[in-house]
Structure formats: C-alpha cells, structure tokens
Amino acid sequence: MRPNLGSVQLAASAAWTLSGNDIGTMITAAPRLYPHMWSWDTAFISIGLAHLNVARAARELETLLGAQWRNGMIPHIVFSEGTGYFPGPERWGAAELNADAPNSPRTSGICQPPVHAIALRRIVDIARSQGEREVAFKLLKSAWPKLYRWHEWLVRHRDPLGTGMIAIVHGWESGMDNSPRWDIPYAAVNPGPDLPAYVRLDRGLVAEDAERPSDAEYDRYLWLIEEMRKVRYDADAVVRTSSFLVGDVFVTALFALASEVLATLGEESEQPAWQIRQLRGWARRSRAAVAASHDPLTGLARDRDLRGDHWLSTSTIAGFAPLLCGGLPIDAEKAMLATLTGPDWAGHPELFAQIPPSVSPNDSGFRPREYWRGPVWPVIAWLFGWAFEQRGWLSESDHLRSECLRLAADGSFAEYYHPVTGEPLGSRQQSWTATVVLDWLHCPPG
Ligand code: 9WN
C-alpha cells in the first residue's frame, strides 16, 4: 500500500532528505542520479531550506551565484568533486575553452530557466517573517546585482529576434529535456561521425530504462555539446551555429515573471533606478512575446523553432506559460485556466491527483512513465501555484497545493510521479521535490 505520511512526519522527512543530500559544499540535486548542483534545482532548494535555516538557504544560492560566468551566465551545472554523472566537467571542457567560465568550481556550458529571482523573493519573505531581516538584506544586496547581470545576459545573447522571446540552444536549457516540444527541432540535429564515444551513467539508476531519455536522444544532446565546443562556448557564435535554436515560451514566461520580481526586489533594496526600469521593460516585452505565441486553434501558447522558422504547436504543460506571467486578453486567459483545470489536464477523471501532468492524458503522445512525456513534476506545479497566488487566484493555488501534498505524502520525494497511479518515478530523495513540499507545508492556504 502507498504510505501516507502526516504533515509533521512529511516535513521531518523532507528536512532529512535535504541533509542527506548535503555534501558540505552544496546540496546535490539527488543522491545518486544527480550528484552536483543544478541551476534551477538550487533556486527551489534554497526556498525550502529557508524554512529550516535562512542563513543556510542564502549560502546555497550564493554558492550557485559564485559559479556565475564572467559574462553573466548562470551555468546549468556546478560540479562537485563527485563523479557518477555524465557528461561531467571533462566532456564539457567549459573552463578550458572559454575564459568567462570559472576554473573552480567547474561548470557546464549552457544555462537553465531563470527562476532565481523568484527564489530570492521567497527567501527574503520567509526571512522577514522569521525576524531575520539582517540576513535577508545582506543576501538581497549581494545577489541582486548578480541576478541583474544574469537577466541582462539573457537579453543580450538569447533574444535573437529582438522580440523578447528567449531562445535556448539545447533541450537541457529548458529543464524539460526530452519533452515532445523538442521532437521536431531535435529531428534536425544530426550527430556527425566525429561524435566522441561515451558511456551513459544514468541508466541503471532508475527502475526502468523507459523512465529516462533514449540513446538516440542522448546522441543529439551530446552532439550539441560538440557543436558548442567547436565555437568555444562563445555565446553569440553558439546562437549562430547550434543546430538547435528554439524560442522557449515557458522560459520566456519565467523570464518575464522573474524580471518583474527582480525589479520589485530592486526597489526594496535601493538598486539603480535605470536598472529597475530596464527590468520592467524586459518583462513587458517578454510578456508580449508570450502572448503573441498564443494559438487561437488550440488555445495554448507555442514555442518557435528559430532554425526551421515556424511555430511548434505540440501540446504540453508549457503551453500554459501565459498563466505564469499574464499578458493575454482576459477571455483567452480565462479559457486557458479552464483548460488547465478541466478534463483534458488536471481535471482528467483518471488522475491520481488533480495536478497538470507534463503531457495531457488525452494526447496520443502521452507516456505516463517517460520522463517529460507524461509524468507529473511537483516543481512545475509549484511554479503555477506560486504564480496563481501572485495573481490573486487563491482557490486555484490552494487546490494545487493540497493535491500536490496528497501526491507527495508517500514520502519518496520522487523526481516525478506517474499521473494516474501516483507511483514515484525517476530518482528518489530528489532535493527540489523535498523543498517544494516544505514550502507548501509551511504556507497555510491563502
Ligand atoms: C540534465 C536535475 C536536472 C533538472 C532537469 C531534469 C534533469 C538533467 C538530466 O535533471 O536534467 O540537465 O540528466 O536528465 O530534466 O530539469 O534540473 O534535477
């Protein structure tokens, strides 16, 4: 039978998970499958940590920001001394090839979704509510300029059309690695005969191979790294040459949301007015780009393949991006929210809990065990829940929170879950699952 922990036990178990993943220099994303620090994982990890120890949360975020490249990019992986993950620092060769990459710690050469300002907002609010104003203020002062530079890097190097649509050069940058969103753009990535041989280490660390991307997908992931190595990770050259270049509507929405959040944090900490104005301007432009991607036929937002120069209409959870950042006409927004909570998505009658899965159970491509092709990801639900709360949609946000807690009550803190059975999948004791659970447990319904 599925275990069903009460909230005190669940919170203790989440805290225990985090301390188990704490290797002294960082909290790793997961014990075996991911023995390093991942950019957006760490943003979520620091939110949960703040409930346990604000200073520790600040340190975690600062560790990530300490690995920021000199040009402003926050790398997607900050490597620990641990081994056991492929591709590791040698395969990336970032510091060897690009003078902007730090030598220590070693990092990968791409980025992940810009959710860090949202984490900073949460940590500052939690710190204030605990009377830790001094720690909050110090963190705000040190992190803000770094996050500003990160957002500026995205605008400068990842908005190739100048429309506000933020582009990614690798599926890993979306955080939704093998989502069907990327099937068409990946079909145009042709690994060359000079792809160096490699051995995957992720297989064997999950119950079934089908829970991870396929070998053909991995060849493409690795080939894109080879392409980037050839131009020494020069940001503009990568955008010019990568065979994968996609305007990512979900990343763009997060960027718009996080830029607004960062602007407000800037006002609270007396940052330069021109930078705050700039952030609001970037937010406006990216919000408009998200809204412009709205497909009247499906009612969802779309990614844009910038190599093939066409919209990608694959229906996934990312299509609800406008609900994160706003910007749609009110009727379209209402219809989108109704779709998200309706029978095609979170309200599907067969689901274990009313949480939107990564792909609709009614979609022909729905694969309930296959990584980003169907399972439920608690962190994605957290993002929607948090955004809904900001937007004043309290009953929707509370409902998501209680359904997610019901799903997570098995105490596995799985990386993702089977949407129909609630079975834990992928890694167990995944840090970011433990931390969003901690945040939900500490926040009584609005
Ligand atoms: C590649 C760590 C990361 C998450 C991503 C998730 C997965 C890595 C992988 O794990 O990606 O970056 O090896 O599959 O897709 O969102 O940040 O938890």
Q: Each residue of 152-171: pLDDT tens digit? A: 999 999 999 999 999 999 99
Residue 76 C-alpha to ligand 1 middle, in angstroms? 9
**Entry pTM:** 0.98
Question: What pLDDT digit, counting tens, does each position of 125-145 carry?
Answer: 999 999 999 999 999 999 999
* 323, burial (CB in 10 Å: exposed 0-12, middle 13-18, buried 19+): buried
396 part of the active site = no
Q: How far apart are CA 95 and CA 321, in angstroms?
A: 34
Residue nearest to atom 16 of ligand 1 (CA): 175
The alpha carbon of 264 and the centre of ligand 1 are apart by a number of angstroms equal to 30
Two tokens at 308?
């093939």
Q: How confident is the model at residue 149 (pLDDT cuts 50, 70, 90)?
A: very high
Cα–Cα distance between 435 and 50 in angstroms, integer?
9
Q: Comparing 82 with 30, which gets the higher pLDDT? A: 30
Strands 303-305 and 310-312: antiparallel
The closest residue, in CA terms, to atom 8 on ligand 1 is 172
pLDDT of 408 above 80: yes
Q: Ligand 1 atom closest to Cα of 177?
A: 15
- The residues lining ligand 1, judged by C-beta closer than 6 Å to any ligand atom, are 29, 34, 38, 40-41, 76, 172, 175, 177, 202
Return the pLDDT at 203.
Answer: 85
The predicted model gives 324-342 an average pLDDT of 98
Rounded to an integer, the average pLDDT of 146-152 is: 99
Closest approach atom of ligand 1 to CA 415? 18
Of 159, 202, 403, 415, which one is the catalytic site residue? 415
Of 76, 28, 64, give the one whose Cα is nearest residue 221: 76
Q: How far is the CA of 172 from the centre of ligand 1 (A)?
A: 7
Q: What is the residue type of 301? A: A
For tokens 């770094």, name the residue. 146
State mean pLDDT over 107-117.
98
Name the helix (H) or strand (E) containing 39. Answer: helix 39-52
CA of residue 41 to ligand 1 center, whole Å: 9
**pLDDT: is 83 or 279 the higher one?**
279
State the pLDDT confidence band at 405, using cuts at 50, 70 and 90: very high
Residue 439: both structure tokens together: 């945040």
Q: How far apart are CA 89 and CA 330, in angstroms?
A: 47
Dihedral of CA 387/43/264/252: which sign?
negative
**CA 216 to ligand 1 center in whole angstroms:** 17
| pLDDT over 80 (residue 407) | yes
Under 8 Å CB-to-CB from 115, ≥6 apart: which residues? Answer: 40, 43, 44, 254, 258, 383
What's the average model confidence in pLDDT over 286-293? 98
446 has pLDDT over 70: no
> What is the average pLDDT score of the chain?
97
| pLDDT band for position 210 (cuts 50, 70, 90) | confident
pLDDT (average), residues 271-288? 98
Length of the chain: 446
Residue from 25, 38, 24, 23 nearest 433 by CA: 38
Q: Which of 177, 183, 226, 333 is catalytic?
A: 177
Determine phi and psi for 171, rounding to 5 degrees: -55, -30
Q: Which of 36, 38, 40, 92 to mutate to test the pocket of ligand 1 (most atoms within 8 A of CB)?
A: 38
Best mutation site among 41, 86, 116, 177 for ligand 1 pocket (most ligand atoms within 8 Å of CB):
177
CA nearest to 60, candidates 51, 68, 69, 49: 49
Q: What is the mean pLDDT of residues 292-313?
A: 97
**pLDDT given for residue 445 in this prediction:** 57
Pocket test for ligand 1, best of 172, 251, 432 (most atoms within 8 A of CB): 172
How far is the centre of ligand 1, averaged over its atoms, from the C-alpha of 29 (Å)? Answer: 9
Atom of ligand 1 nearest to the CA of 112: 17
The reply to whether 415 belongs to the active site is yes
